């Protein structure tokens, strides 16, 4: 799927070590390279029901990881359906993931090659299409939904979570940044929630994904097939909102971060990452200390780049954000903590990345600026 960096399960503030699920996720997803592997056409299933389209990501053993060929196939079907259908549903095969990740290991090892760039370029182009889709687009985000899976869903009009949904943008843990339009949707969440999620990789589960504003509806997984059938059999897409609302059954429990939202908004309202760290130290609560511990494990360079990215993205349209992110990802392929993060977490698995530089204070503004510089005209992302 993105690159497995997105599959990264996340170092939430509630965790101090790589979770077992992450290890399982990585083992099952690092199967084929999203760049070089020849994709079996059955990895994307596209069916038609009357005037509706259904796209299924069909790599359950790899947690429906998105590779280059799959991205191209999804894009092709969506372009066709936009002109011939009244609605599109996208889902993942199996019960574990909607779309959880890909193989960043191969991308890192390949370096800034044309194939590596092509993956991100075509993935971001697909994200832009979803964000500007003319007909209703409904993503059933049942199971792990990270990185590329977020990009395939969050920009669409409807996103239906279940009790099995697991959301995170944990890229700073491997020296990357929240992409696939993360610079657009994260700053637009309530208060400073998006900045908190983007910097820490905190993971959300079940209907908390709805309560965070990432999903639009919540449906028990046992009812998903009924929901899908009702949508595919509806005679008028004007009834889609009513159908979705019929199955929308979130719990009455408070949002998991409700008790610390005031702290998040206070501590993450800052002009720099260093100021955020100081605010957390001044707070001194258990939550603040755990958050400091999390921030202390991830790439200082990624933290500063992500902070700048979300600050800029808050003022840009989605296509502009994706063009900015493409510049950033090309730079990351050339020179960043990305390679070292993947080495430490996915290749040698020593869990001891040697970040360069090792501290926030040593990350200069000039270094951060470099990631956002315009590429040569022939290399810029064209949407």
Q: What is the mean pLDDT of each run of 10 residues along the chain (383 residues)?
A: 40 36 41 39 87 96 90 96 97 95 73 88 97 98 95 98 96 96 98 98 98 98 98 96 98 97 98 98 98 98 98 98 98 95 90 96 98 97 95
Q: Are 324 and 196 contacting, i.e. CB atoms less than 8 angstroms apart?
A: no
* Assigned token pair, 168: 């995170």
CATH of domain 4-370: 3.90.226.10
Q: What does the pLDDT read at residue 351?
A: 93
Give the active site residues: 102, 148, 171, 179
Orientation of helix 193-200 relative to helix 286-295, angle to 10°: 50
Alpha-carbon span 117 to 188, nearest angstrom: 27
pTM (global) more than 0.85: yes
Q: What does the pLDDT read at residue 102?
A: 64
pLDDT tens profile 271-328: 999 999 999 999 999 999 999 999 999 999 999 999 999 999 999 999 999 999 999 9
What is the residue extent of each domain of the chain?
4-370
Q: What does the pLDDT read at residue 31?
A: 34
Q: What does the pLDDT read at residue 108?
A: 78
Q: What does the pLDDT read at residue 40?
A: 52
Alpha-carbon span 332 to 284, nearest angstrom: 34
């Amino acid at each position: 799927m993105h690159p497995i960096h997105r599959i990264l399960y996340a170092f939430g503030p509630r965790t101090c070590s790589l979770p077992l699920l992450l290890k399982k996720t990585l083992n099952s997803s690092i199967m084929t390279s999203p760049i070089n592997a020849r994709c079996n056409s059955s990895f994307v299933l596209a069916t038609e029901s009357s005037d509706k389209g259904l796209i299924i990501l069909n790599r359950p053993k790899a947690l429906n990881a998105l590779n280059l060929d799959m991205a191209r196939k999804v894009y092709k079907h969506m372009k066709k359906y936009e002109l011939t259908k009244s609605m599109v549903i996208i889902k993942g095969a199996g019960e574990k993931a909607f779309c959880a990740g890909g193989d960043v290991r191969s991308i890192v090892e390949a370096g800034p090659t044309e194939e590596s760039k092509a993956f991100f370029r075509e993935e971001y182009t697909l994200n832009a299409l979803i964000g500007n889709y003319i007909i209703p687009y409904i993503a059933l985000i049942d199971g792990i939904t990270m990185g590329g899976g977020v990009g395939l869903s969050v920009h669409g009009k409807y996103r239906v979570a279940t009790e099995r949904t697991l959301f995170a943008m944990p890229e700073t843990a491997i020296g990357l940044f929240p992409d696939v339009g993360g610079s657009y949707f994260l700053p637009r969440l309530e208060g400073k929630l998006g900045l908190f999620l983007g910097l820490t990789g905190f993971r959300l589960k079940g209907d908390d994904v709805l309560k965070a504003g990432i999903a639009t509806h919540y449906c028990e997984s046992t009812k998903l097939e009924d929901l899908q059938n009702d949508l595919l059999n509806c005679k008028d897409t004007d009834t889609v909102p009513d159908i979705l609302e019929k199955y929308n059954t979130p719990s009455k429990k408070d949002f998991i971060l409700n008790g610390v939202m005031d702290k998040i908004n206070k501590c993450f309202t800052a002009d720099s990452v260093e100021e955020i760290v100081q605010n957390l130290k001044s707070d001194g609560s258990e939550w603040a200390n755990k958050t400091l511990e999390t921030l202390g494990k991830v790439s200082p360079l990624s933290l500063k780049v992500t902070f700048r990215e979300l600050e800029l993205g808050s003022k840009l349209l989605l296509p502009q954000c994706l063009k900015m992110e493409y510049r950033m990802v090309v730079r990351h392929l050339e020179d960043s903590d990305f390679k070292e993060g993947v080495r430490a977490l996915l290749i040698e698995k020593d869990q001891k990345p040697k970040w360069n530089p090792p501290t926030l204070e040593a990350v200069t503004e000039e270094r951060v600026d470099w990631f956002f510089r315009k590429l040569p005209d022939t290399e810029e992302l064209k949407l």
